[in-house]
Structure 1
Amino acid sequence: MTILRGWRYGVFVGGLVGFISAALYPIVIYPMMNVDNYKKIQAVTRKGINQEDVQPGNMKVWSDPFGRKS
């Protein structure tokens, strides 16, 4: 087994970091930068669903805990 030294080690580490970054981009970065696309998809798929009817255990529908009290 060869030991990676010098530029080969740098290429190996750079390739590993690049591979992990390329794998995480469509999962983490893209959805955070294009929120509007996902909001449109949710609006279409959840149309006609009353959230209070499908809430389990008669629990209160989630609300923003940091929102202003009206």
Structure 2
Amino acid sequence: MTLLKGWRYGAFVGFIAGFIGATLYPIVISPMINSDYYKQIQKETRAGVNQEEIQPGNMKVWSDPFDRKK
């Protein structure tokens, strides 16, 4: 078995890094860039759902804790 030296080592490391990047792109990066698609799906699937009716334990629906009181 020969060790990778010189340009072959660089090509091997580049291949591994490229493979990992190509694998993670559709899972991690694409949803962050194209969030409108997922917002539209969420809007369609939650149509007609009243959150106050399905909230467990008589808890109030989530609100922003950092929102300033008026």
- Normalising TM by the smaller chain, what interval? 0.7 to 0.9
Residue 16 of structure 1, CA deviation: 0.8
Aligned to 1:21: 21
State the one-letter code of the partner of 2:26.
P
Alignment gaps of 5+ in structure 1 = none
CA distance, structure 1, for counterparts of residue 32 and residue 69 of structure 2: 28
CA distance, structure 1, for counterparts of residue 64 and residue 39 of structure 2: 17
TM (norm. structure 2) is: 0.82
Alignment gaps of 5+ in structure 2 = none
CA RMSD in angstroms, aligned pairs only? 1.5
CA distance, structure 1, for counterparts of residue 21 and residue 37 of structure 2: 22
User: Number of residue pairs matched?
Assistant: 70
Q: Percent identity?
A: 70
CA distance, structure 2, for counterparts of residue 63 and residue 18 of structure 1: 41
Residue 67 of structure 1, CA deviation: 2.9
CA distance, structure 1, for counterparts of residue 23 and residue 56 of structure 2: 35
Residue 59 of structure 1, CA deviation: 2.3
